[in-house]
Structure 1
Amino acid sequence: MSERVTPEFAIPMLPSSSISETLQFYEAMGSTITYQQKAPNNYIGLKLKGIEIHFFGLKQLKPESNFSSCYLRVNDVDKLYNDCRAGLKQQYGKIPLKGIPRINPIKDIPTYGVRQFVIVDPSGNYIRIGEKIKKEPGVLFEEDGEKPQKATPLRKAYELANRLAHGKDDLEAAASVIDKALASNKNVEPEIRFKLIVLRLDIANRFEDIEKMKVMEKEGRGLLELVGNVSEINEDIRSFYQILEGDRQ
């Protein structure tokens, strides 16, 4: 009889400024405890959708200065995203879309071959959660030996801003790219323009830039009247209203 082979796997170990806050946050999203220790080390193991993440207490940790991160590869990322949003809304009374903690919008990033969202937990840990999708050549850089596709300035701006905001988390750089693109490419490609506006709306929301949000909301609503419900922007339309509704909860 052959010996059963235990699958090999990795367990992220992330810092926590408060184990109790970490537990409440992840339990709200459906996590279960796999291990807990209070002395000599304040430590907890949690399982989210079958994936273990461990946390160790670090009281001196400043969440806004935390660079710890990990990536969770899952199946049915949309269901998990919706479950997480519902759980966090119940925990906090509203869906946290800005600041710390928060949950970012779910996005396709075809150039990376993933559909993903980001959770920033109370300790500032940056958790990317994604599912594989068909990988497509980008329009900006050569990657994996594939040369970039030809594209319009707006499409190039959207890919760059999307990478900066959702891949690198450089919101200021993403905002700058979007603002320049919207100012110099008017009255063309309304669908791509709307996608840029939704991304800029999300950034403005996270920076609590109310005036910019009002500008993006007004232009976004105007574009929706022009283009209607187009399959290319269905998800962006959902995100548009989720951001606005979340901000007004």
Structure 2
Amino acid sequence: MMLTAIHPKLPMRNKALTKAFYTGQLGFQQIGNDYEGYLMVGKEAIQIHFFEFKELDPAENYGQVYIRTNNIDALYQSLLDGAVAIHPAGQLQVKPWGQKEFALLDPDNNLLTFGQSV
């Protein structure tokens, strides 16, 4: 047996708002069945799932996902071109650990960090 994929599950307060952000701004597609209180989105080889948590306080949400890419410069530019807000401390830069990274927050303060080895 071998592990083949991982699909993180993150909290969301409002399914319509989360769906609009991921599909409208980040270019994901809704996938799978449309379950009450649950959302699945995918883009290329990755999926992110969301569970409804209406009482979530975004200021106390520490959900984080690290997403690897093979063309970080083009991805970063496409998000800038689409006026997606980059995290104030997360502009594209090479980190001491050998990754070129940037980060952004979704509507519920889940942190998405995108990285590529340099």
Query: How would you bin the TM-score normalised by the shorter chain?
Result: 0.7 to 0.9
Q: Which amino acid aligns with 1:22?
A: T
- Provide the C-alpha distance between the structure 2 equivalents of 1:77 and 1:97, rounded to a whole number of angstroms: 14
3-state secondary structure, aligned to 1:37: coil
Q: How many residues align?
A: 117
Compute the displacement of 1:50 (Å).
2.7
Q: In structure 1, what is the equivalent of residue 7 of structure 2?
A: 11
Q: Unaligned regions of 5+ residues in structure 2, if any?
A: none
3-state secondary structure, aligned to 2:73: helix
The answer on whether the counterparts of 2:86 and 2:104 sit within 8 Å (CA) in structure 1 is no
For 1:102-113, list aligned pairs within 5 A.
104-109=90-95, 111-113=96-98
The answer on whether the counterparts of 2:86 and 2:103 sit within 8 Å (CA) in structure 1 is no
TM-score (structure 2 length as normaliser):
0.86
For 1:65-76, list aligned pairs within 5 A.
65-76=60-71
Q: Quote the RMSD (CA, aligned, Å).
A: 2.2
Q: Which amino acid aligns with 1:29?
A: L
Q: Which amino acid aligns with 2:85?
A: P
3-state secondary structure, aligned to 1:123: coil
If asked which structure has higher relative contact order (CA below 8 Å, sep 6+), I would say 2
Q: Unaligned regions of 5+ residues in structure 1, if any?
A: 90-94, 134-249
Query: 1:163-222: per-residue Cα shift (whole Å, max 9, x none)?
Result: xxxxxxxxxxxxxxxxxxxxxxxxxxxxxxxxxxxxxxxxxxxxxxxxxxxxxxxxxxxx
- Provide the C-alpha distance between the structure 2 equivalents of 1:84 and 1:97, rounded to a whole number of angstroms: 8
Q: Which amino acid aligns with 2:32?
A: Y
Decide whether aligned partners of structure 1 residues 50 and 33 sit closer, same or farther in structure 2, where only a CA change above 3 A counts.
same
Compute the displacement of 1:48 (Å).
3.0
Q: In structure 2, what is the equivalent of residue 120 of structure 1?
A: 105
Is 1:29 aligned to residue 26 of structure 2? yes
For 1:223-238, list aligned pairs within 5 A.
none
Q: In structure 1, what is the equivalent of residue 85 of structure 2?
A: 96
The answer on whether the counterparts of 1:103 and 1:120 sit within 8 Å (CA) in structure 2 is no
Decide whether aligned partners of structure 1 residues 49 and 79 sit closer, same or farther in structure 2, where only a CA change above 3 A counts.
farther
TM-score (structure 1 length as normaliser):
0.43
More helix by share: 1
For 1:180-195, list aligned pairs within 5 A.
none
Q: Which amino acid aligns with 2:114?
A: I
More strand by share: 2
